[in-house]
């Protein structure tokens, strides 16, 4: 079934639920959400309860006059709409609801963060003809979207899109190199590699969520095949060792230690930055003021006397309000010192926490130090001038124009991708955005006339404009 049909099916479901004859359905949905939310988390019991509720409701749809004469596709769309609505309401109650799941998420993410520092396609026996890391970035991007959505189907679509990108790239590569069509033995290693490089958030919990709450009758065919491969990829990564990567034990351990040192360098460098910030913040209490007064005193002494005392006083006041570059830097350093997570401020500067050994060009150490100083001063200046993010400030008209250009560009990019690779689009994109979220929640609230029990507003903004 096409994605447009699924989205229209959700709208059709909501429209039908507004009908007076759907009052019993509305009551049943409200009752289930409330009673479910009041129970303590128990994944096995919760999954069974949700699956049984979906099955009973879909059977009731078939027998109800509201769906009299409807096709199988329309009835299937109603089921999709029901699943999307109910699971969006129950998301915060069932997703990563156990401490063990949260712990496994953290362990898996940490392992991928380490392994991705040194793993190469050759370590997973990926054929040279099939190696295309640049194009694999698109597959990584699709997988990294998984936490933008709440409905099980939409999370599954992220995985399917990732797998389809890989599958189509492998197929194209086999044709170009006159290789045999790629099989499972070619596909899975690439999926593992892409997953490690993507390090998608809460992968373990997302896979469990899909397993437990995606309607079992719809997790079939191609979707089941790709999803099973993703489960295999997760299992492989969880148990990854030297043998799995075709490495000697000593080499594997050495690489892991190096990766730990590399990642720990982030906190080490942050400690160094904090020291610099503290020094600058301490200077901010005296040096800028003294320097400013000294400058004003000299300027006043050298300036010709004005017959208008008010004018002179006004000029001096206006000058004193203009901060120097040094003052802006010190002010930004003080603000930066108060940041809860300083590392996030510097994340978009890829070499900020690199080491000299990471690069191979001459004079790399001097280049790296200069780069760090530049970035540090740049961020401090932005903070000092009340910059909200590490980018040059734009006027309102410029920001609107840039947003329009980016939206059009990304829309064109995704249309091209959809045509060449055959990606699906997540139906959540109409609901999970900052604006659409409120409208959808209000519509559902008005429709079912319910108080927000056991549910929350969408927490993941959809930044993908497909």
Q: What pLDDT, in 10s, does the model give residues 294-307?
A: 443 444 445 454 44
Output the CATH code of domain 1-93. Answer: 1.10.246.120
> Residue ranges per domain, the chain?
1-93, 99-247
**97 or 362, which is more confident?**
97
Sign of CA dihedral 42, 48, 49, 50: positive
Give the sign of the dihedral formed by CA 63, CA 69, CA 71, CA 76: negative
Categorize the per-residue pLDDT at 280 as very low, low, confident or very high, splitting at 50, 70 and 90.
low
Q: Would you say 429 and 465 are in contact if contact means Cβ atoms under 8 Å apart?
A: yes
* Average pLDDT score over the chain: 75
pLDDT confidence of 345, banded at 50, 70, 90?
low
Q: Is the pLDDT of residue 140 over 50?
A: yes
DSSP character string of 321-358: TS--HHHHHHHHHHHHHT-S-HHHHTTT-TTTT--GGG
**What number is the average pLDDT over the span 348-371?**
61
Residue (of 145, 162, 114, 132) closest to 262 by Cα position: 114
| pLDDT over 80 at 95, yes or no | yes
pLDDT tens per residue, range 47-64: 999 999 999 999 999 999
CATH architecture entry for 99-247? Up-down Bundle (1.20)
Please tell me what DSSP assigns to residue 380: H
- Of the two residues 391 and 376, the one the predictor is more confident about is 376
Residues 6+ apart with CB under 8 A from 401: none
Distance between CA 198 and CA 142 in Å, rounded? Answer: 9
By CB atoms closer than 10 A (0-12, 13-18, 19+), residue 116 is middle
Q: Provide the pLDDT for residue 357.
A: 57
Please choose, from the candidates 427, 440, 443, the residue with its C-alpha nearest in 3D space to the C-alpha of residue 458.
Answer: 440
Does the pLDDT at position 333 exceed 50?
yes
Decide: 460 and 149 in contact? Cβ < 8 Å. Answer: yes
- pLDDT-above-70 percentage for the chain: 57
Residue 230 has pLDDT above 80, yes or no: yes
pTM listed for this prediction: 0.62
What is the pLDDT confidence band of residue 379, given thresholds at 50, 70 and 90? Answer: confident
Q: What pLDDT does residue 444 have? A: 45
Q: Which range has the top average pLDDT, 195-204, 344-353, 451-460?
A: 195-204
Strand, coil or helix: what is 387? Answer: coil
Residue corresponding to tokens 């690779």: 421
What pLDDT, on a 0 to 100 scale, did the predictor assign at position 372?
72
Looking at residue 180, its pLDDT comes to 86
The pLDDT value recorded for residue 443 is 41
Q: What is the pLDDT of residues 168-196, one digit of tens each?
A: 999 999 999 888 889 899 999 999 999 99
Please, what sign has the CA dihedral across residues 431, 434, 435, 441? positive
User: What percent of the chain is modeled with pLDDT above 90?
Assistant: 46
Buried b (16+ CB within 10 A) or exposed e, 78-111: bbbbbbbbbbbbbbbbbbbbeeebeebbeebbeb
Give the separation between CA 257 and CA 338, rounded to whole angstroms. Answer: 32
The yes-or-no verdict on residue 213 having pLDDT over 80 is yes
The helices-and-strands tally (H runs, E runs) of the chain is 18, 0
Please, are residues 240 and 189 in contact by the beta-carbon 8 Å criterion? Answer: no
């Amino acid at each position: 079934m096409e994605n447009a049909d699924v989205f229209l099916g959700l709208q059709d479901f909501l429209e039908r639920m507004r009908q007076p004859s759907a009052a019993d359905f509305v009551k049943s949905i409200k009752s289930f959400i409330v009673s479910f939310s009041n129970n303590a988390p128990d994944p096995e019991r919760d999954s069974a309860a949700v699956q049984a509720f979906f099955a009973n409701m879909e059977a009731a749809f078939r027998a109800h006059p509201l769906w009299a004469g409807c096709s199988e596709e329309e009835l299937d769309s109603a089921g999709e709409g029901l699943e999307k609505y109910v699971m969006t309401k129950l998301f915060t109650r069932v997703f990563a609801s156990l401490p063990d799941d949260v712990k496994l998420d953290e362990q898996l993410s940490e392992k991928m963060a380490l392994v991705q520092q040194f793993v190469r396609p050759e370590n997973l026996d990926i054929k040279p003809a099939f190696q295309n890391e640049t194009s694999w970035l698109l597959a990584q991007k699709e997988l990294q979207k998984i936490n933008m959505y709440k409905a099980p189907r939409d999370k599954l679509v992220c995985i399917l899109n990732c797998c389809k990108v890989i599958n189509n790239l492998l197929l194209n590569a086999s044709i170009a190199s006159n290789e045999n069509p790629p099989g499972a033995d070619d596909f899975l290693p690439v999926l593992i590699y892409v997953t490690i490089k993507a390090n998608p958030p809460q992968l373990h919990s997302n896979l469990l969520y899909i397993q437990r709450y995606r309607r079992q009758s719809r997790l079939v065919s191609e979707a089941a095949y790709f999803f099973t491969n993703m489960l295999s990829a997760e299992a492989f990564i969880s148990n990854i060792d030297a043998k799995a990567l075709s490495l000697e034990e000593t080499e594997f351990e050495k690489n892991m230690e190096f990766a730990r040192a590399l990642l720990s360098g982030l906190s080490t460098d942050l400690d160094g930055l904090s020291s610099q910030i503290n020094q600058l913040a301490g200077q901010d209490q005296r040096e800028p003021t003294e320097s400013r007064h000294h400058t004003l005193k000299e300027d006043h002494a050298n300036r010709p006397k004005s017959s208008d005392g008010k004018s002179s006083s006004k000029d001096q006041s206006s000058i004193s309000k203009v901060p120097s570059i040094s003052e802006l830097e010190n002010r930004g350093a003080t603000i930066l010192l108060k940041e809860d997570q300083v590392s996030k401020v510097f994340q978009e500067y890829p070499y900020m926490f690199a080491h000299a050994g990471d690069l191979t060009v001459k004079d790399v150490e001097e280049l790296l130090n200069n780069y760090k100083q530049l970035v540090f001063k740049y961020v401090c200046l932005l903070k000092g001038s009340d910059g909200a993010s590490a980018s040059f400030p734009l006027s309102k008209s410029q920001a609107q124009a840039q947003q329009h250009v980016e939206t059009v560009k990304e829309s064109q990019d995704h249309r091209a991708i959809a045509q060449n690779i055959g990606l699906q689009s997540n139906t959540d994109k109409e609901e999970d955005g900052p604006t659409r979220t409120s409208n959808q929640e209000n519509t559902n609230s008005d429709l079912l006339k319910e108080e927000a029990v056991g549910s929350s507003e969408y927490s993941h903004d959809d930044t993908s404009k497909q």
